[in-house]
Structure 1
């Protein structure tokens, strides 16, 4: 299966049912870990027949991949403050809240652990980050239109530098992020991008 052929839920399944399945999937991941979570358990917790889940997501990797992209729990709002620096600071703040809040922080860390431990998830993890990058591109496109960034700015590099700082500090080092962290991180990265 290629990344463009991700299974979709049944048209008649409805957004409420889909959300129940995705919420149950992410709760099971955070609680049990990827290796121990099961489609049967997710079906029971969401109140959906397991054959329905298997019909639209042929594996727990596929189900987790869809849940990562579409579940509101991992949603990262894309700001539009009218200013690149303001947009990036808000984006970093939103990521900090996602990674340090609950249950979103536990789910994000469990997703990372699952990705490191299961090669079958690689395609779905790439889909997740491709989806996020496509959303983040609008922030850079607006900045280019306003003359705040040069055309051809590497969006992925810019976002990786910002997100990497948050992930490293909050998840790997497990250090607190003060309320000035977003401003300082954006200043360090953005001023470096402008200089090049």
Structure 2
């Protein structure tokens, strides 16, 4: 791919093309969750989605390109940031959303497959990074508003706070296998709030 070509998933279609994209991405997500990345086949996806094989190859090119677009679509469709009026409330909403996603039968398998693929495929790795960049950008105002309200020190890094909330839940999904439940979400939020209060996430000049 040349430096002038758009990244997979960066061009948004409309009309009939949008309906084709929706059908293909849904089918790709189902197969990815069921079988993983290694066996993802564009011809099979095209047939299952009822779309011409040539169309799929022309638009996405490779399984990695298709997964990149799938992640872009997931970022677009994800729930917007919470605005509860408090940092604890917003972080609790974020933790519950992450927990709900990671315990959904389809979504949990999908994320496992994408993360596994990203360890060995640079296109998928870049797409996964873009996905989380979009989500962190969406939720960053929760922390920015908390700073303005005096709930967090000046210079607190919003992305670091949000990552501290979600990281323990992803660890349970990918490593320990411990339950991802309301209690786990609550522990993650309390730990993040304690760290915020201690100034742990301050990366710039702090007042006081």
TM norm structure 2? 0.83
Q: 1:44-91 CA distances to partner (integer Å, 9 max, x unpaired)?
A: 111111222233323221211111121389734422212110110111
2:4 & 2:118 partners in 1: Cα distance?
Answer: 16
CA pair 193-44 structure 1, distance change in 2 beyond 3 A: same
Q: Which moved more, 1:142-151 or 1:87-96?
A: 142-151
Gaps of 5+ in 1: none
2:144 & 2:5 partners in 1: Cα distance?
Answer: 24
What's the Cα RMSD here?
2.4
Deviation at 1:168, TM superposition (A): 0.8
Gaps of 5+ in 2: 200-208
Deviation at 1:30, TM superposition (A): 1.4
1:150 & 1:13 partners in 2: Cα distance?
Answer: 49
Question: Within the alignment, does 1:160 sit opposite 2:170 as a pair?
Answer: no
1:154 & 1:137 partners in 2: Cα distance?
Answer: 9
Q: Does the Cα contact within 8 Å between 1:3 and 1:123 map onto a contact in 2? A: no
Instruction: List structure 1 runs of 4+ shifted beyond 3 angstroms.
Output: 1-4, 9-16, 71-74
2:206 is aligned to: none
Q: Find the structure with the greater CA-based Rg.
A: 2
Q: Does the Cα contact within 8 Å between 1:76 and 1:95 map onto a contact in 2? A: no
1:181 & 1:112 partners in 2: Cα distance?
Answer: 21
CA pair 22-9 structure 1, distance change in 2 beyond 3 A: same
Q: 2:104 aligns with which of 94, 101, 106?
A: 101
2:4 & 2:168 partners in 1: Cα distance?
Answer: 28
1:188 is aligned to: 191
2:203 is aligned to: none
1:14 & 1:49 partners in 2: Cα distance?
Answer: 12
Q: Which moved more, 1:160-169 or 1:119-128?
A: 119-128
1:5 is aligned to: 6
Q: Which moved more, 1:26-35 or 1:169-178?
A: 169-178
Count of residue correspondences: 196
1:63 is aligned to: 66
Task: Say which SS state the counterpart of residue 103 (structure 1) adopts.
Answer: helix
1:184 & 1:192 partners in 2: Cα distance?
Answer: 12
Q: Does the Cα contact within 8 Å between 1:29 and 1:110 map onto a contact in 2? A: yes
2:57 is aligned to: 54
